[in-house]
Structure 1
Amino acid sequence: MAPTKVIIAGCGIAGPVLGIFLRLKGYDPVIYERSAEPTTLGLSLCLQPNGLRVINLIPGLLEKVIGQDLDAFAMYSVLPGDEGTIVWSDLPSTLRDLYGYSMKGVRRPVFHRTLVEHAQNHGIKIVWGHQLVSVDQHADSVQVGFTNGAKDTASFVVGCDGLHSNTRICLFGEENADYTGLTQTGGVSPKPDFLKARHPMTDLFGDGSHMIYYQVNDSQVSWAFTRKEAEAKETWRHMDEHVQQEFREHGPCSTWGFGAKELVETAEHIVKYGLYDRPELKAWHKGRVALLGDAAHPTSPHLGQGANQAFEDIYHFIRLLVKHNPSAAGPSTDVLQAVFSEYETIRIPRTSALVQGARKRGDDRVLQGAEERKKRNELIKEHWNDESTIAEPYRQLFTQPFVGESEI
């Protein structure tokens, strides 16, 4: 009997990983992607222990991931007259002993290409240039339609098509993405002399502005500068050359220390984009169609958990699919209802809390006013000086979501 066909909408970060797991469990996944080819857009991701734990369940994948393990957290004030260290912590260097994995900075386009190639090596069909626009559900199948007029049918469909998910629109209607009020300007630059032999994730706090940077390989650093300003669309395109040069020479962080000035000056290209999330959904599925990753719970990047939460989604989605449909035969709608409902019960509360937490951290990073900034910096110091306040949140973030690899 032919394996059960599954359509995955979206070949970003989540789609290929989900496809590989489905193939390993006996399904026949087909991935449809709106872009004509693998994207070169985007800057970087920080893969954290919870996400790396899921990736490592795919044989041979983790060793192919190109990146840089991070070994410290560094936080500095760049305010004139108050420049200096807020926190230096070696916690990331201990994460492998505590949770099995460290933190790894990766360039997004390079990581994406690795995932796509690994999926293709597993024999997964990826169809480029096909944007899903319709979903027609039947008793035991789903037919999807694309902007080019093509159609395909599968047992069930998983929408992994990101912030601008058409699968989500097909299920729940049009809605506006929520602009968080913050933009980021960022780039990838040669490693500055300031870093020397260490590999910290570094936060710089200014007046109403913030920069984060970390290495993504042996020689390059990805950075992003955040501030409150008028809405900018999430295009991920390069800024105009004149605007880029103006930002390098006269931008808000062009005079900052701790490596910031050098990073901005040496970036090959600089991009600017708005930060968005979406209203919380009470359900992530209808019938035989479910959402996963940013299609279900897009988040601003201030906790660094976007991709990592998509991987957690995949872990539980596959675990529950194996639990309720161990034969990998074409599941009934009742079986899918059991899978999707349990998946939502586990994942919606956790991802909703993290989306809200990312919003709050973003706002905290761009505080204005001397008293507000001073209070924030003191709270950061207190937090990092008290080991009891550090251990439990990281345990919950990195280990609590998992039931046991044997179940997947």
Structure 2
Amino acid sequence: MAPPTVLIIGCGVSGPVLSLLLKKKGYKPVIYEKVRVLGEAGASLMLNPNGMKVLNLLTSPNKLFGDVKALPLANLWHGTGSGETLVHNSLPSNYAARYGQSSMGIKRTTLNISLKEMALDAGIEVHEGFELVDIEEGEASVTAHFGNGQSVTGSFLVGCDGIKAASRRILLQNSGTKEGPPIFTGLTQTAGISMTPSALLEKPATMSNWYGNAVHLIAYPVSTTHISWAVTLSQTEERPEAWKLATRVELEAKKQDLEARLKGFEPALLEMVRTAERIISFGLFDRAELSGDEWFSSRCVLIGDAAHPTSPHLGQGANQALEDCYHLSRLLPQLNGDSDGNLAALSPIFEEFARLRQPRTSALVKGARKKGEERVVTGGPELCRARDAQLVVALGDAEEIQRGNDQLYREPF
């Protein structure tokens, strides 16, 4: 008996990972990606121990990072824009011993291409230029319709297509729910990758946070030579939720704007901005939270940002998507060639998955939103000093930080 076909929508992080996990369980996953050719995407992300555990089921960090040497995180530093230390600790240096994996920054493009190549090497079909426009569900199958006029049918469909997921929109529409527009949070983020300034090489393997008036800057290494950074700004004028790369003219304008906003910050940070090889800017938006029963239908289920879109302030977007991949693949039955694993009734499996995952991801989405509001304080020096004092108290409690880390990083197994 031919294995059941699973339609995977999206070839970012969760699409290829879920496909590889399902392939091991006897399914035939096929990936459909709206982008015609996967290329430069985003800036970077931090793979934390909970996400690394899932990836380690498929490959080693050395293969994942390719020619770039992985650099495990060892230190966390928080300080003022001028460089005065507020809090410093070396908790990440113990992550591997405590959780089984380290935290490591990686270029998003490197990760995406590595995962796509892993899927192709495993014999998984990847079709690019397929933008999902509709979903039709039958009693024992589902059909996806694409903007290029093609349609495909499978046993079930998984929406892995990110924060602007077509799968989410269609699933809600088909259930009679109209989702409202995303709401601008009043924050924008500009991210880039640069050669690590010599002054910051003195703080190797460190995730650093600088706090100023209406601005927060975070930076961490993505290799021994390069650093990824992101500046979050308070912005009264709504900015588009777009992640396109800046043109050469736009790049220079953004650099000048950032240098003005970072006036008074450490010179190394201005150097980092000036020497950026690429920059992307985007507004940060909130979306209505979905209840667990809105994550799925009889033949479709959402995972990652398609189900629980989040702001980047906790660094858990990709890591929670990886947890989703692990749990969904774990709950789906193992197939043995001559058996369909009782796929006639998938709703109970999808319901169990959503019941398990929705409360955890909901709490983290709220936590990320709160973290952004705490970091970016407007109103002048006095309020900023109060914010800094609160950071010293909150981040200086190593035992409390450890308990929070345990709740995050001891998952998903």
TM-score (norm 2): 0.91
Partner of 2:356: 346
- 1:127-138 pair list within 5 angstroms: 127-138=127-138
User: Runs of 4 or more off by more than 6 Å in structure 1?
Assistant: none
2:297 pairs, out of 264, 286, 298, with 286
On the 8 A contact 2:234/2:378 being kept in 1, the answer is no
* AA matched with 2:46: C
Q: For 1:364, what is the secondary structure of its paired residue?
A: helix
- Establish whether residue 275 from structure 1 lines up as the match of residue 284 from structure 2: yes
Task: Check conservation: 1:248, 1:254, Cα contact below 8 A.
Answer: no
Within the alignment, does 1:236 sit opposite 2:243 as a pair?
A: yes
Q: Distance in 1 between matches of 2:336 and 2:387?
A: 53
The one-letter code sitting in structure 2 at the alignment partner of 1:35 is V
How big is the alpha-carbon RMSD for the aligned residues of Structure 1 and Structure 2? Answer: 1.8
- Whether contact under 8 Å (2:4, 2:28) holds in the other structure is yes
Within 5 Å, give how 1:251-330 maps onto structure 2.
251-253=260-262, 255-257=264-266, 259-282=268-291, 283=293, 284-322=295-333, 327=336, 329-330=339-340
Partner of 1:44: 44
Q: Does 1:221 align with 2:227?
A: yes
Deviations 1:22-52 (A, max 9, x none): 1011100000010001131210010000000
Matches within 5 A, 1:120-199: 120-173=120-173, 174-175=178-179, 176-197=181-202, 198-199=204-205
Percent of matched pairs sharing the same residue: 39
- Deviation string, structure 1 residues 304-348 (Cα, Å, up to 9, x no partner): 0000000000111011113xx555743556631121011011100
Matched residue, 1:393:
404
Map of 2:74 onto structure 1: 71
Mapped to 2, the partners of 1:286 and 1:331 lie a distance apart of: 19
Distance 2:60 2:286 in 1: 29
SS at match of 2:345: helix
Give the secondary structure class of the aligned counterpart of 1:357. Answer: helix
- Counterpart in 2 of 1:200? 206
- CA shift digits 1:187-209 (9 cap, x unpaired): 11001111225121010101011
> By how many angstroms is 1:76 displaced?
1.2
Distance in 2, matches of 1:352 and 1:384, equals 23
Deviation at 1:242, TM superposition (A): 3.9
Work out the CA distance in 2 between the residues paired with 1:331 and 1:140.
Answer: 13
Letter of the structure 2 residue corresponding to residue 390 of structure 1 = I
Task: Report the CA distance between 1:254 and its aligned residue.
Answer: 5.1
**1:364-379 maps to which residues of 2 (within 5 A)?**
364-369=374-379, 370-379=381-390
**C-alpha displacement of 1:61:** 4.4
Change (3 A) 1:85 1:32: same
- Aligned residue for 1:203, secondary structure, equals strand
SS at structure 2 position matched to 1:251: helix
Which stretches in structure 2 are left out of the alignment for 5+ residues?
none
SS in 1 for 2:346: helix
Q: TM-score, normalised by structure 1?
A: 0.92
- Paired with 2:366 and 2:12, the residues of 1 have a C-alpha distance of 23
Deviations 1:201-223 (CA, angstroms, capped at 9, x unpaired)? 01010101111111111211111
In the TM superposition, what whole-angstrom CA distance separates every residue of 1:66-125 from its partner, at most 9, and x where no partner exists?
Answer: 24221111111116xxx5111111111111111111110000001110000011110000
The AA in structure 2 aligned to 1:253 is: L
Instruction: Using the TM superposition, give the Cα deviation of residue 179 of structure 1 relative to its aligned residue in structure 2, in angstroms.
Output: 2.3
**1:306 and 1:4, CA in 2 relative to 1: closer, same or farther beyond 3 A?**
same
**Partners of 1:143 and 1:154 within 8 A in 2:** yes
Q: Which runs of 5+ in 1 are unaligned?
A: none
Aligned twin of 2:370? 360
